[in-house]
Amino acid sequence: MSSTWSAGTTIILHEIWRGRVYSARPVVVAEDTGDRLALWCPRGTRWKVATTPPSRERAPTRADRFVTLLERSDWVFQDATWRISNLTQVRPGDWHAVWAGWDEAGDPWGWYVNFQRPFVRTKQGIQTMDLALDIVVEPDAKWRWKDEDEFQVLVDAGVIDGTEAATVRREAENMSARIEANEAPFNEPWHDWRPDPAWPAPRLPDGWDR
């Protein structure tokens, strides 16, 4: 397992649930200092995401589908296309990732805080798991919660236990305070960053589902 990766290296960002791959997305390492990892994912990147198997009826809402998949662990994979270009920053031990994003024209659309389990490095890349709750930060620094209802459904169903839920809520309070105070990384010029044009488009390698 690599201690750090060189800029331009393609790795896999895996979501893992109960020891099984839930999603797999190829990303390019933009920076790896050991205590901060920045990952580039351009619009149009193809990735694998969990979905309801054809053997049973699809739940009516996204929250219900998420709960049922995680409870049953019976998902199958479908191909998906990443819809926006973003640079993801993660740090060891953090229960969140911060995305700086750009729209199709290359203009900044702001920030996105994705609450997730702390990442673990592997030979293929990193492993984490999305915990539903998010914060969207507009270019003018106004922010709002996203998917609070889905997070609560997971908590109510016991998919996210009380200890983990409390940890996520503390992390969310801390991040919202940092946004309000215009602290790093929200006061840093990450939207001026651009990928090296020599980097290849990220693609999933064989064995992505291991």
Model pTM?
0.95
Question: What share of the chain in percent tops pLDDT 90?
Answer: 94
Per domain, the residue ranges of the chain are 10-188
Distance CA 54, CA 76 (A): 9
Query: Do 76 and 208 touch, CB atoms closer than 8 A?
Result: no
Query: Do 165 and 52 touch, CB atoms closer than 8 A?
Result: no
Q: Which residue has the tokens 């589908």?
A: 65
**CATH code assigned to 10-188:** 2.40.380.10
Q: What is the pLDDT along the chain (210 residues), one digit of tens a residue?
A: 558 999 999 999 999 999 999 999 999 999 999 999 999 999 999 999 999 999 999 988 888 999 999 999 999 999 999 999 999 999 999 999 999 999 999 999 999 999 999 999 999 999 999 999 999 999 999 999 999 999 999 999 999 999 999 999 999 999 999 999 999 999 999 999 999 999 999 999 999 998
Cα-atom radius of gyration of the chain, to the nearest Å?
17
Number of H helices, E strands in the chain: 3, 12
Q: Which residue has the tokens 């580039």?
A: 40
Distance CA 190, CA 204 (A): 26
